[in-house]
Amino acid sequence: MDFGGESVLSSDLWNKAQAVFAGGVNSPVRAAVKPFPFYTRSAKGAYLVTEDSRRLIDFVLGYGPLILGHAHPKVIEAVKDQLERGWLYGTPSRAEVELASMITKHVPSAQKVRFVNSGTEATMTALRLSRGFTGRSKILKFDGNYHGAHDYVLIDAGSAASEFGVPFSQGIPTEVSSTVLVCPYNDLTCVETVLKREEIAGVIVEPVMGNMGVIPPEKDFLPGLRKLTREYGSVLIFDEVITGFRLGLGGAQSYFGVTPDLTTLGKIIGGGFPIGAVCGRKEIMDQLTPSGRVFNAGTFNANPISMTAGIATIQELEKKEVYTVSERAARVLAEEIDRAIKMDHVVNRVYNFFQFFLGVKDVRNANDARKAKRDLYVKVHESLLKEGVFIPPSQFEALFTSGAHDDDVVNESARVFKKVLEDLT
């Protein structure tokens, strides 16, 4: 089926996609939109336009990267300029030094940076670094935290892994899974027990759980992790692929005042283009090749397009207005949702991202999130979509706001949320 340049519906594209892609998609959560995914033709500001010519208010924002909104003019301008000068050199470029300098300026843990191409590559590299630095082999992670799609973290994983019932992926050797230990999020007693019993190379955590819905850390959790990892000689890794440059220029570590040894970044630092980064203490980062013996390399590491888009994005964030607008949007909508839901529920918000859970009274870890009425959440998602509002199709994702979610967008969204939630809950 060759569509050429003619108009085509999402249903036609879905039929074709099922023949050429496993499951019809290239990332599983996209298939959670029922009865089939809509296909996006264009996007601007807070809106998506589908191939079916529907205009939707977007609270997915590419699952977090687009904090400026879609197609921000400053990012477009910067990328167009870079395209004129070439988009892949195979050599270092000025842009990578500039973006790394911005990261080391703003992120407390970032003494040195290594750019990679995705959050998955970033966490994979950070875990390898922790093992190389400590000489230990075991890793501690948290139930429901999602750190990408590589073998060492697809154990009790959140995000699409939980949505599709595969928190333990097939294809992972037991020799790998036996080196990964898991504690409940917000449970320091479990952490201390594991660190006492095992020689743990690294403890990796989402400082705010963003892949099981949104679950904030309890007051003592992050400081407790910092204290325990220092006491037992383990590398503390904050996975800030979501929270980095979202909760302010310094990310979650500035927001909560806790500095890890290593940080993984992605999403926002590429301005919507593919990117990942590991940053952290100099003596750990210097273990990476060519200065050390922990290997990392990549043809597209620090590619000029992602570097340039990231610079333009952070320059806008440094003006602070985007944070003001996005925080207000999230706060107003979270409050409206809280008022509109009539049944037992929880609305968890941290600054400018949030999620609601239906049929529960408290959500402090992954097990709590799993008890929410996911079937009802799906109905809410479907009803909102019919009314022109796009939220994540999975309970185990987050709603994001941006600098483009102004008062007009918020007011219309609040009206739709109120209508749908009062009807369904």
Q: In angstroms, rounded to a whole number, what is the distance separating the alpha carbons of residues 17 and 346?
A: 37
Peptide bond into 274 cis (omega under 30): no
Q: Which two tokens stand for residue 81?
A: 């300029």
Closest CA to 115 of 265, 240, 272: 265
Instruction: List the Cα angle 184/187/188 in 5-degree steps.
Output: 135
Helix (H, G, I), strand (E, B) or coil at 129: helix
Side chain identity, residue 270:
G
CB 176 within 8 A of CB 213: no
C-alpha 233: how far from its chain's center? 28
Q: What is the pTM of this model?
A: 0.95
Side chain identity, residue 400:
F
Domain residue extents for the chain: 10-71+320-422, 73-317
315 backbone dihedrals φ, ψ, rounded to 5°: -60, -40
CB 390 within 8 A of CB 56: yes
CB 279 within 8 A of CB 112: yes
Mean pLDDT per 10-residue section of the chain, whose length is 425 residues: 69 96 93 94 98 98 98 98 97 98 98 98 98 97 94 71 58 89 96 97 98 97 98 98 98 98 98 97 98 97 98 98 98 98 98 98 96 97 98 96 98 98 95
What pLDDT is recorded for position 261? 98
What helix, strand, coil percent values describe the chain, rounded to 5? Answer: 40, 15, 40
Q: In angstroms, rounded to a whole number, what is the distance separating the alpha carbons of residues 232 and 188?
A: 14
Q: In angstroms, rounded to a whole number, what is the distance separating the alpha carbons of residues 246 and 238?
A: 14
Considering the four listed CATH numbers 3.40.640.10, 3.40.47.10, 3.40.50.300, 3.40.50.720, the one that applies to the domain covering 73-317 is 3.40.640.10
Peptide bond into 184 cis (omega under 30): no
What pLDDT is recorded for position 4? 56
**Following DSSP, what letter does each residue of 223-237 receive, concatenated?**
HHHHHHHHHHTPEEE
Q: CATH classification of 10-71+320-422 is 3.90.1150.10, yes or no?
A: yes
Tell me the CA distances in angstroms from 82 to 79, 258, 420, one per residue in order: 5, 36, 44
Look at the chain and count its residues.
425
Q: In angstroms, rounded to a whole number, what is the distance separating the alpha carbons of residues 68 and 313?
A: 7
Structural element, H or E, at residue 304:
helix 304-317
What pLDDT is recorded for position 3? 57
Q: In angstroms, rounded to a whole number, what is the distance separating the alpha carbons of residues 140 and 148?
A: 15
What pLDDT is recorded for position 158? 46
Q: Which residue bears the tokens 């020689």?
A: 199
What pLDDT is recorded for position 154? 85
Helix (H, G, I), strand (E, B) or coil at 9: coil
Q: How many CA atoms lie within 13 A of 6 on its CB side?
A: 5
Task: Tell me which residues are annotated as active site.
Answer: 146, 239, 267
What pLDDT is recorded for position 7? 73
Beta bridge partners, 277, equal 115, 265
Q: In angstroms, rounded to a whole number, what is the distance separating the alpha carbons of residues 259 and 420?
A: 41
- Tell me whether the CATH fold assigned to 10-71+320-422 matches the one assigned to 73-317: no
Q: How many CA atoms lie within 13 A of 278 on its CB side?
A: 29
What pLDDT is recorded for position 126? 98
Closest CA to 151 of 131, 181, 176: 176
